[in-house]
């Protein structure tokens, strides 16, 4: 007898995956949401393929009421209806175990289940989002199913590999707009309610199913092949959807060419949701977004908002092919979805907005990946997932940013054309099914003839990345690789590193694979090049590889000179600084070396490079507040002298015909000067802000500098003079533009007064701030108040842990714990979380405490730098 016949319900508990003895082929789903009572009822009829004789059907369900009388199974063609003898909900495992007396025959049958649930306020599953219409608060019903929350809306096989067809029907109030993945085929109005029937979907995974019911306006356009594209917004905001609509139409056309497969559905709807946990979600044919990631207001959105919308729209639309048409087999391969969509969103943005230099900005994504992956508590790109609770935490900088960076490295190594053709072949081969990482490598290997699998295994199967140390000796280049860790420890990893190298010029580039631990390379032209006065060598040309480089002293000083004289490309200038900063934090280089290097960027012309120099400087300043408070005056003078000439050049007001990057730079520079307490910046900000407070349309405070002005204003606020704080709250309460609200929230905690910071933190937990937006207040906490924020987190932890879930909860930990910089605080955090850690936050807690230890170590090594004071005095004087 088959094992499935012998088992008891207990056997199915505690398993990572559902059993494979039955699989869904088609769902017929009816949902009836009650928007006033915040509940829903539904029924699902699933065509199931039974592969081996069994008395059980096991599928996912969570937070749903299912009574045994509402379940039955009908084997196809038998005329029988089988009723279960037992229906068990295993809460821990989020499964429904249905046991029959009879053996279910192999072949097709239909499982029917009726159920009820709550429209929750957790922004996952089938949930409610609150909006205002004509001054009245209303609920909309929204779904968010990725990674594993379709089971909170209807019982289903809620794993990516169980693909099926979906036929969805909704019973809703007749005045509302009802949307799903597919177009409406029929609507039947019956007085106050209507039944909306949607076209059957192609085969797809449960996490991509979507349903939305509420009041919306929309703007619409069509692609050349007649696909309808709409952007839905709250009533009265549809004009703010126009920019995203333009980007979407162009993107669908571009990706149809790039993937050599047409967009598979008849329509593409994109919709802004007021309460939304992540940035956006790629539901097939109905993509949901936070308002800030979809809407653009010509008068009140900043250049940074415009870029965010373009990149996020391209990211979500890339998923329609990479993720939705071809889907990862299991969450271990999540990076295939997210790393790829991140990379290709830059490809699209670069095609449509070449003046944005997005491939230079992409380096900020790589840096985020580098920083997380330099922790011992990081994880490989392909990560084992043994329980559904572990999935949320891998939607992180490894899956997205490192994933995107290694794809860029591989594309650069194989060449753009071969890469694109091989991808198109992969998409064709796995369309409407599931794939693993190995399948992509096989397609790329086939298309290129290169050993892709061997090369890439070292990057996706093990965590971390190498630092390649370079020495020049007797005309030879000596290379050595070790795993880079921010703690300064040495890891054991080893990689196949695609080395690229330029010497004195970009006209000749050398490429080779570095496989060993140590190798010497004789490079043609190296000896001649070495004789030149302006000799330099740069590895990892244009930063296309996911590794760091450490140069010997001579080579490093020549690179510093090449930065100063602007000989290096912008990407390489960024890379030299980023690598030096990382090595300094890990105790591999002295802080004074890094400070001398930052000074070499005084004539920098590229926004992303200068922004990186500013952010690096501010984090050094923050660390020195703990390590060497007596040196802060000189450090501040050095930084203000470094930034002032740039700020004078860009000013507060946009110049006619200036570019997008200048607008980004203006905001970054003025915000940094405000944070450093630069008096002239603060006074000018307050002057302009006061005019803006009286007239929100004044040209004196355009959107690109508002955040800087708000941060500057908060520098004047303390507990005995809170007028600036109150004025910002007034703006927050009066605007209905999410981007404006986020700018205000990001500034409220930047006061130097700890009491005001506490008040701002308490405000974030009030009913005035949507749960999705709390994180912006926390991010705005300045160096002086990190310990205040930590104390506040501990005091409010029980409420926070109960109210927030998923990455909204893990953000609280990352943003509050990571900036602490002493071992004493590390011990405190360890002690605090010892009894409060559950599977869904364990990885975040471990990583955050590790960051505290790393900072504490950096503080100690800085205290030991005897010449720091003199160097700072010299630099401050020189500037």
pLDDT tens digits, one per residue of 737-795: 999 999 999 999 999 999 999 999 999 999 999 999 999 999 999 988 999 999 999 99
H helix or E strand, kind and range, residue 863: helix 839-863
DSSP-based three-state secondary structure for 852 = helix
Integer Cα distance of 437 and 453 in angstroms = 10
**Which residues are 477's β-sheet partners?**
472, 521
CA 564, 569, 573: angle at the middle one, nearest 5?
Answer: 55
Residue 260 has pLDDT above 90, yes or no: yes
Q: Region 812-825: what's the mean pLDDT? A: 97
pLDDT tens digits, one per residue of 92-142: 999 999 999 999 999 999 999 999 999 999 999 999 999 999 999 999 999
- The pLDDT, as a whole number, for residue 331 is 93
Integer Cα distance of 207 and 159 in angstroms = 8
Residue 474 binned pLDDT confidence (cut-offs 50, 70, 90): confident
Integer Cα distance of 690 and 460 in angstroms = 53
Q: Region 144-172: what's the mean pLDDT? A: 98
* 590: number of Cβ within 10 Å: 18
**All residues at 6 or more sequence positions from 190 whose CB lies less than 8 Å from its CB, including other chains:** 174
- Evaluate whether 853 touches 823 at the Cβ level (below 8 Å): yes
DSSP-based three-state secondary structure for 298 = coil
Q: Which residue has the tokens 């590999």?
A: 161
Beta-sheet pairing, 177-180 with 184-190: unpaired
- Can you say how many angstroms the Cα of residue 300 is from the centroid of all Cα atoms in its chain? 24
Q: Number of C-alpha atoms within 13 angstroms, CB side, residue 450?
A: 19
Distances in whole angstroms, Cα of residue 821 to Cα of each of 370, 818, 824: 20, 8, 9
Residue 293's region, left for phi above 0, alpha for psi from -120 to 50, else beta, is alpha
Distances in whole angstroms, Cα of residue 198 to Cα of each of 178, 182, 221, 727: 10, 6, 21, 48
- The pLDDT, as a whole number, for residue 3 is 47
* Phi, psi (degrees; rounded to nearest 5) at 280: -165, 170
* 316 in catalytic set: yes
Q: Region 849-869: what's the mean pLDDT? A: 94
Reading the block at residue 448, the tokens are 């290129």
Longest dimension (CA), the chain: 92
pLDDT tens digits, one per residue of 408-420: 999 999 999 999 9
- The pLDDT, as a whole number, for residue 1 is 44
Q: What is the DSSP letter of 484?
A: -
- Evaluate whether 101 touches 55 at the Cβ level (below 8 Å): yes
- Evaluate whether 642 touches 598 at the Cβ level (below 8 Å): yes
DSSP-based three-state secondary structure for 726 = helix
Q: Region 502-526: what's the mean pLDDT? A: 88
- The pLDDT, as a whole number, for residue 239 is 97
- Evaluate whether 178 touches 213 at the Cβ level (below 8 Å): yes
DSSP-based three-state secondary structure for 6 = helix
Residue 5 binned pLDDT confidence (cut-offs 50, 70, 90): low
DSSP string, 353-388: -GGG-HHHHHHHHHHHHHHHHTSTT---SS----SG
Q: Region 559-574: what's the mean pLDDT? A: 96
Distances in whole angstroms, Cα of residue 423 to Cα of each of 162, 249, 420, 671, 765: 24, 22, 5, 42, 46
H helix or E strand, kind and range, residue 728: helix 723-734
- The pLDDT, as a whole number, for residue 879 is 59
Mean predicted lDDT score pLDDT of the chain: 95
Beta-sheet pairing, 286-290 with 267-273: parallel
User: Edge-to-edge, what's the strand order for the sheet holding 125-133?
Assistant: 125-133, 136-144, 211-214, 177-180
Angle between helices 703-714 and 723-734 (to 10 degrees): 150
pLDDT tens digits, one per residue of 580-617: 999 999 999 999 999 999 999 999 999 999 999 999 99
Q: Region 307-330: what's the mean pLDDT? A: 97
Integer Cα distance of 469 and 475 in angstroms = 16
Reading the block at residue 414, the tokens are 């194989």
Residues making up the chain, counted from first to last? 879
90 exposed, middle or buried (CB, 10 Å; 0-12, 13-18, 19+)?
Answer: middle
* 533: number of Cβ within 10 Å: 6
Reading the block at residue 386, the tokens are 């043994």
- Evaluate whether 589 touches 583 at the Cβ level (below 8 Å): yes
- Can you say how many angstroms the Cα of residue 278 is from the centroid of all Cα atoms in its chain? 8
Residue 156 has pLDDT above 90, yes or no: yes
Q: Region 303-309: what's the mean pLDDT? A: 97
The catalytic position among 316, 329, 365, 445 is: 316
């Amino acid at each position: 007898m088959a094992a499935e016949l012998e088992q008891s319900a207990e056997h199915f508990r505690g398993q990572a995956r559902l059993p494979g003895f039955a699989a869904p082929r088609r769902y017929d789903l009816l949902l009836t949401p009650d928007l006033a009572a915040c509940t829903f009822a539904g029924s699902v009829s699933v065509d199931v393929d039974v592969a081996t004789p069994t008395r059980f059907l096991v599928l996912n369900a969570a937070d749903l009421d299912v009574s045994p009388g509402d379940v039955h199974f009908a084997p196809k063609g038998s005329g029988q209806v089988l009723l279960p003898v037992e229906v068990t909900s295993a809460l821990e495992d989020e499964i429904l175990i249905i046991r029959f007396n009879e053996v279910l025959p192999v072949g097709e049958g239909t499982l029917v289940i009726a159920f009820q649930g709550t429209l929750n306020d957790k922004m996952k599953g089938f949930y409610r989002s609150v909006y205002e219409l004509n001054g009245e608060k209303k609920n909309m019903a929204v779904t968010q199913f990725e990674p594993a929350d379709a089971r909170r809306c209807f019982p289903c096989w809620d794993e990516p590999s169980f693909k099926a067809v979906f036929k969805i029907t909704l019973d809703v109030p007749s005045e509302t707009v009802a949307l799903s993945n597919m177009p409406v085929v029929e609507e039947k109005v019956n007085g106050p309610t209507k039944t909306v029937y949607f076209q059957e979907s192609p085969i797809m995974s449960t996490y991509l199913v979507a349903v939305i019911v509420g009041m919306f306006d929309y703007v619409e356009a069509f692609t050349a092949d007649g696909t309808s594209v709409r952007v839905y917004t709250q009533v009265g905001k549809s004009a703010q959807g126009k920019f995203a609509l333009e980007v979407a139409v162009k993107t669908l056309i571009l990706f149809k060419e790039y993937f050599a497969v047409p967009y598979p559905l008849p329509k593409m709807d994109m919709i802004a949701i007021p309460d939304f946990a992540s940035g956006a979600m790629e539901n097939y044919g109905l993509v949901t977004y936070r308002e800030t990631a979809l809407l653009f207001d010509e008068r009140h959105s900043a250049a940074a908002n415009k870029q965010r919308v373009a990149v996020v729209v391209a990211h979500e639309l890339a998923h329609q092919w990479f993720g939705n048409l071809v889907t990862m087999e299991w969450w271990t391969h999540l990076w295939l979805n997210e790393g790829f969509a991140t990379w290709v969103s830059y490809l699209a943005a670069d095609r449509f907005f070449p003046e944005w230099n997005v491939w230079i900005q992409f380096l900020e994504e790589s840096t985020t990946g580098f920083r997380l992956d330099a922790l011992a508590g990081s994880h490989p790109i392909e990560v084992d997932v043994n329980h559904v609770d572990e999935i949320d935490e891998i939607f992180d900088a490894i899956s997205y940013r490192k994933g995107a960076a290694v794809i860029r490295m591989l594309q650069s190594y194989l060449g753009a054309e071969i890469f694109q053709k091989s991808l198109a072949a992969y998409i064709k081969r796995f369309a409407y099914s599931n794939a693993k990482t190995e399948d992509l490598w096989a397609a790329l290997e086939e298309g290129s003839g290169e050993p892709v699998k061997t090369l890439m295994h070292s990057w996706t199967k093990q965590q971390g990345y190498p630092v390649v140390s370079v020495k020049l000796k007797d005309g030879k280049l000596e290379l050595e690789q070790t795993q880079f860790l921010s703690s300064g420890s040495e890891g054991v990893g080893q990689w196949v590193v695609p080395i690229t190298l330029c010497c004195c010029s970009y006209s000749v580039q050398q490429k080779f694979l570095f496989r060993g631990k140590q190798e010497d390379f004789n490079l043609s032209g190296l000896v001649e090049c070495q004789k030149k006065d302006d000799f330099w060598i740069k590895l990892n040309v244009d930063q296309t590889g996911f590794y760091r480089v450490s140069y010997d002293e001579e080579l490093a000083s020549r690179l510093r000179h090449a930065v100063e004289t602007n000989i290096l490309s912008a990407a390489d200038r960024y890379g030299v600084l980023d690598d030096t900063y990382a090595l300094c934090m890990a105790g591999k280089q002295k802080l004074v070396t890094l400070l001398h290097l930052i000074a070499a960027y005084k004539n920098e012309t590229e926004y992303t490079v200068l922004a990186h120099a500013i952010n690096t400087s501010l984090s050094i300043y923050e660390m020195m507040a703990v390590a060497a408070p007596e040196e802060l005056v000189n450090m501040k003078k050095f930084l203000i002298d470094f930034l002032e000439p740039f700020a004078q050049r860009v000013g507060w007001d946009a110049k006619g015909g200036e570019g997008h990057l200048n607008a980004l730079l203006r905001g970054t520079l003025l915000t940094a000067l405000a944070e450093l307490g630069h008096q002239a910046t603060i006074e000018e900000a307050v002057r302009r802000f006061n005019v803006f407070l009286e007239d929100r349309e004044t040209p004196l405070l355009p959107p690109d500098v508002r955040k800087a002005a708000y941060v500057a204003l908060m520098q004047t606020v303390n507990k005995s003079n809170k007028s600036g704080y109150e004025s910002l709250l007034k703006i927050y309460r009066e605007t209905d533009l999410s981007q404006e609200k986020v700018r205000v929230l990001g500034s409220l905690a930047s006061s130097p007064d700890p009491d005001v910071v506490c008040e701002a933190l308490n405000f974030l937990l009030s009913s005035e701030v949507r749960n999705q937006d709390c994180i912006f207040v926390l991010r705005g906490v300045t160096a002086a108040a990190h310990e205040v924020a930590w104390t506040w987190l501990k005091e409010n932890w029980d409420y926070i842990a109960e109210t927030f879930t998923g990455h909204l909860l893990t953000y609280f930990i990352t943003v509050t714990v990571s900036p602490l910089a002493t071992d004493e605080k590390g011990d405190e955090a360890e002690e605090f979380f010892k009894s409060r850690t559950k599977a869904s936050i364990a990885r975040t807690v471990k990583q955050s405490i590790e960051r505290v230890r790393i900072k504490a170590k950096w503080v100690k090594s800085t205290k030991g730098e005897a010449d720091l004071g003199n160097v700072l005095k010299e630099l401050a004087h020189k500037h």
